[in-house]
């Protein structure tokens, strides 16, 4: 009897451990290549021994639930450095080491440990998930290797304390939520219902969204629900949304859960309630999870500039398509690209062979011209370029709202 009791208890403990996040390991290397559209002009080959290779790390969710976003980012990052190496303007080669954080803090920490243990690694660009960035920031600071965040938007990741080791090309949660609220308000929505996940990304979004809505006196939040990441059944929450009378649901999480929620909203007859969010939901995984029909009309903020409207953006889209990657360009792919541009700007400013120590100041003072326009960092390492635009899901694709049939 006691043995069975013990066994049952052990099974439960083991299984909870499994649920908490088993499966994905952290090592992966990429050798994807493609054409890039960035040109480098500075020749700083003085005093550089022939055959010199320096490494930059790139950490992204290559596996796991956000694999589509992470892999597309890694592809773009690699493309920029492939172009640089092909041009040979630096006088040395820059090798990109792609590591997988699988969207879990432990895999992210393991990837950062691996990279910081390699003395050839002079800088790291990392993360789509704020929780992953939180795990690697102390590791990078301790190793004195600069970390440039390309896709995680938690407000506190860049700070006075983390500067100058940590910089970020992506916007903060506040920088994303502010235009999001303004956009849906302008579309006439006033009664909001919040559903967020319990990650640091989700709770931060709930807090910043709530604070933003408070700026509009006739807008109200009718209810707030939190769900654990990996939630599959949203039916009861959908019933609460229906009962609240909300005309718009803000989802402060990421794509798969957002897609399942939207699908179940439509199945329950809430066709006229719009789902919206910030860039975390704007990926092809959302459309897969929701289905093309249910995904229709979902609104998201998209950071940066619509790449289809700029020459550099159009060249990048063409080069990415020509490279034949299976993952479509995601919301943060341009940020990964610009992260590479900023690293190259820093490398170009260093005379001779760059080191991690030299890169810290070089990155903090870098100025790069990328897909999002001109990027520089402020006094805490945050991008000074918080551009964004509104996108809508139309026929299974995320398109600029202004270019969509909804604009009419």
Partner 1 sequence: MGFDMSIFLTQIPNVILLGCTYTLIAIGFSLFFGVLDVVVFCSGDIAVFGAFGVLGSYAIISTTGLADLPTGIMLVALMIIAAVLCAFLGVLTYYVSIKPFEKSSTLMPLLSTIALGIVLREGIGIFYPTGRNPQSFPELIPSGTFFSTDLFNLTYKNLFVFVVTVVMVLLLLLFLNKTRMGSSMRAVSQNKELAMMSGVNIRRTIVFTFILGGILLSIAGTLIGVHYGTMRVDWGSTFGIKGYSAAVVGGLRSTNGAIIGGMLFALIEVIVTCTNYAVFATPAAFVVVILFILLKPEGIIGEKSIEKV
Where along the sequence are the contacts to partner 1 (CB under 8 A)? 1, 3-5, 7-12, 14-16, 18-19, 22-24, 63-65, 67-68, 198, 225-228, 230-233, 235-237, 239-240, 243, 256, 259-260, 263, 267-269, 285, 288-289, 291, 326
Q: How far is the CB of 203 from partner 1 (least distance, A)?
A: 10
Nearer to partner 1, 69 or 134 (CB): 69
Give the Cα separation of 150 and 197 in Å (integer). 21
Beta strands in 137-219 (DSSP E): 147-149, 166-168, 191-197
Nearer to partner 1, 258 or 366 (CB): 258
Q: How far is the CB of 318 from partner 1 (least distance, A)?
A: 23
Q: Which residue in 252, 257, 200, 194 sits closest to 221, CA to CA? A: 194
Per DSSP bridges, beta strands 53-60 and 248-252 are unpaired
b/e code 349-360 from CB counts within 10 Å (16+ = b): bbeebbbbebbb
Q: How far is the CB of 311 from partner 1 (least distance, A)?
A: 31
Nearer to partner 1, 290 or 347 (CB): 290
**DSSP tag of 383:** B
Nearer to partner 1, 243 or 318 (CB): 243
Q: How far is the CB of 284 from partner 1 (least distance, A)?
A: 8
Cβ contacts of 379-383, under 8 Å, gap ≥ 24: 379/160, 379/163, 380/158, 380/159, 380/160, 380/162, 380/163, 381/158, 381/162, 381/163, 381/164, 381/166, 381/167, 381/168, 382/158, 382/167, 382/168, 382/172, 383/168, 383/169, 383/170, 383/171
Per DSSP bridges, beta strands 299-303 and 388-394 are antiparallel
Nearer to partner 1, 86 or 236 (CB): 236
Are 91 and 47 in contact, with CB atoms under 8 Å apart?
A: no
Per DSSP bridges, beta strands 191-197 and 166-168 are unpaired
At which residue do the structure tokens 């041009």 appear?
87
Q: How far is the CB of 320 from partner 1 (least distance, A)?
A: 17
Nearer to partner 1, 14 or 161 (CB): 14
Nearer to partner 1, 95 or 225 (CB): 225
Are 71 and 65 in contact, with CB atoms under 8 Å apart?
A: no
Q: How far is the CB of 298 from partner 1 (least distance, A)?
A: 15
Nearer to partner 1, 172 or 196 (CB): 196
Alpha carbon of residue 166 to chain centroid: 16
Q: How far is the CB of 158 from partner 1 (least distance, A)?
A: 28
Per DSSP bridges, beta strands 191-197 and 388-394 are unpaired
Q: How far is the CB of 127 from partner 1 (least distance, A)?
A: 18
Nearer to partner 1, 194 or 312 (CB): 194
At which residue do the structure tokens 């479509």 appear?
328
Strands of 274-277's sheet, edge to edge? 220-227, 191-197, 248-252, 274-277, 299-303, 388-394, 397-400
Nearer to partner 1, 171 or 202 (CB): 202
Q: How far is the CB of 126 from partner 1 (least distance, A)?
A: 20
Give the Cα separation of 284 and 288 in Å (integer). 6
Q: How far is the CB of 118 from partner 1 (least distance, A)?
A: 26
């Amino acid at each position: 009897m006691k043995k069975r009791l013990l066994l049952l208890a052990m099974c439960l403990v083991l299984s909870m451990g499994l649920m908490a996040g088993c499966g994905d390991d952290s090592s992966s290397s990429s050798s994807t290549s493609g054409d890039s559209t960035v040109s480098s002009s500075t020749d700083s080959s003085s005093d550089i021994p022939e055959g010199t290779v320096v490494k930059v790390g790139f950490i992204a969710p290559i596996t796991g639930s956000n694999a589509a976003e992470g892999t597309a980012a890694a592809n773009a990052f690699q493309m920029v450095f492939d172009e640089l190496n092909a041009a040979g303007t630096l006088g040395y080669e820059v090798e990109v080491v792609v590591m997988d954080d699988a969207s879990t803090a432990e895999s992210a920490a393991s990837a950062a440990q691996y990279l910081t243990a390699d003395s050839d690694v002079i800088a790291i660009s990392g993360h789509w998930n704020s929780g992953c960035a939180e795990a690697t920031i102390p590791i990078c600071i301790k190793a004195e290797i600069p970390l440039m965040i390309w896709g995680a938007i938690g407000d506190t990741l860049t700070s006075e304390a983390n500067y100058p080791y940590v910089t970020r090309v992506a916007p903060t949660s506040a920088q994303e939520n502010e235009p999001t609220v303004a956009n849906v308000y302008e579309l006439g929505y006033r009664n909001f219902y919040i559903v967020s996940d319990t990650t640091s990304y989700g709770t931060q979004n709930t807090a910043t969204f709530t604070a933003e809505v408070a700026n509009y006196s006739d807008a109200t939040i009718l209810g707030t629900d939190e769900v654990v990441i990996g939630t599959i059944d949203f039916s009861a929450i959908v019933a609460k949304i229906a009962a609240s009378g909300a005309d718009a649901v803000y989802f402060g999480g990421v794509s798969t859960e957002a897609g399942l929620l939207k699908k179940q909203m439509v199945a329950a007859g809430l066709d006229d309630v719009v789902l919206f969010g910030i860039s975390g939901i704007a990926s092809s995984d959302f459309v897969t999870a929701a289905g093309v029909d249910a995904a229709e009309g979902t609104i998201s903020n998209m950071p940066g500039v619509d790449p289809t409207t700029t020459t550099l953006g159009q060249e990048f889209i063409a080069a990415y398509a020509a490279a034949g990657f299976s993952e479509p360009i995601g919301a943060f792919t341009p940020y990964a690209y610009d992260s590479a541009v900023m690293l190259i700007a820093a490398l170009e400013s260093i005379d001779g062979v760059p080191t991690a120590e030299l890169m810290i100041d070089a990155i903090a003072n870098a100025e790069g011209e990328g897909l999002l326009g001109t990027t520089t960092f402020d006094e805490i390492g945050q991008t000074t370029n918080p551009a964004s635009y509104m996108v809508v899901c139309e026929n299974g694709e995320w398109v600029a709202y202004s270019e969509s049939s909804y604009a009419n």
